[in-house]
Amino acid sequence: MIQNEQEIIALLEKAYQSIKAAEILLKTNHPSFSASRSYYTMFYIAEALLLSKNLSFSKHSAVIANFGKEFIKTGVIESKFHRYLIDAFEIRSIGDYEFMQVVDNDIANEVLLHSVELFNEVKKFFNCITQENWTE
């Protein structure tokens, strides 16, 4: 049994639901909101991974930094996924807080694809607890 298994499952479920929401938002021409949901997919995944090591952080920047420290620098997860998370954080900030910049459909689609890729990678990491309905 994995430490904090129920909390990890809950975070992965939120990640999965965020993917589905991002897909709907992108299809209905809401790319900024889609990119935000895609970022949260990756954020929830990073939180779940950190929780598997009994680590929890309240700030997004701390989650991102410690995801890199604990999983990227150690070679557990490919380094591109840390870059995806950092980029998604910046794009989400533009979409949520900037009024003079927009997130277009192409960027939102790329962030969505990256979030799905990370979700599928992490399903392998947590292979003993993944849900049957989490199919991408």
Distance CA 83, CA 1 (A): 30
Using 50, 70 and 90 to split pLDDT, how confident is the model at 8?
A: very high
Is 79 a residue whose pLDDT tops 90? yes
What is the token pair recorded at 4?
């904090």
Query: What pLDDT is attached to residue 124?
Result: 85
pTM given for the model: 0.91
| CATH superfamily of the domain spanning 5-125 | Nucleotidyltransferases  domain 2 (1.20.120.330)
What does the alpha-carbon distance between residue 5 and residue 120 come to, in Å, rounded to a whole number? 18
Q: How confident is the model at residue 135 (pLDDT cuts 50, 70, 90)?
A: low
| Cα–Cα dist 91/95, whole Å | 6
Res 7: pLDDT: 94
Q: Between these two residues, 133 and 85, which has the higher pLDDT value?
A: 85
Kindly write down the DSSP assignment for every residue of 96-135, as one continuous string.
HH-SS----HHHHHHHHHHHHHHHHHHHHHTTTT--TT--
Question: Per-domain residue ranges for the chain?
Answer: 5-125
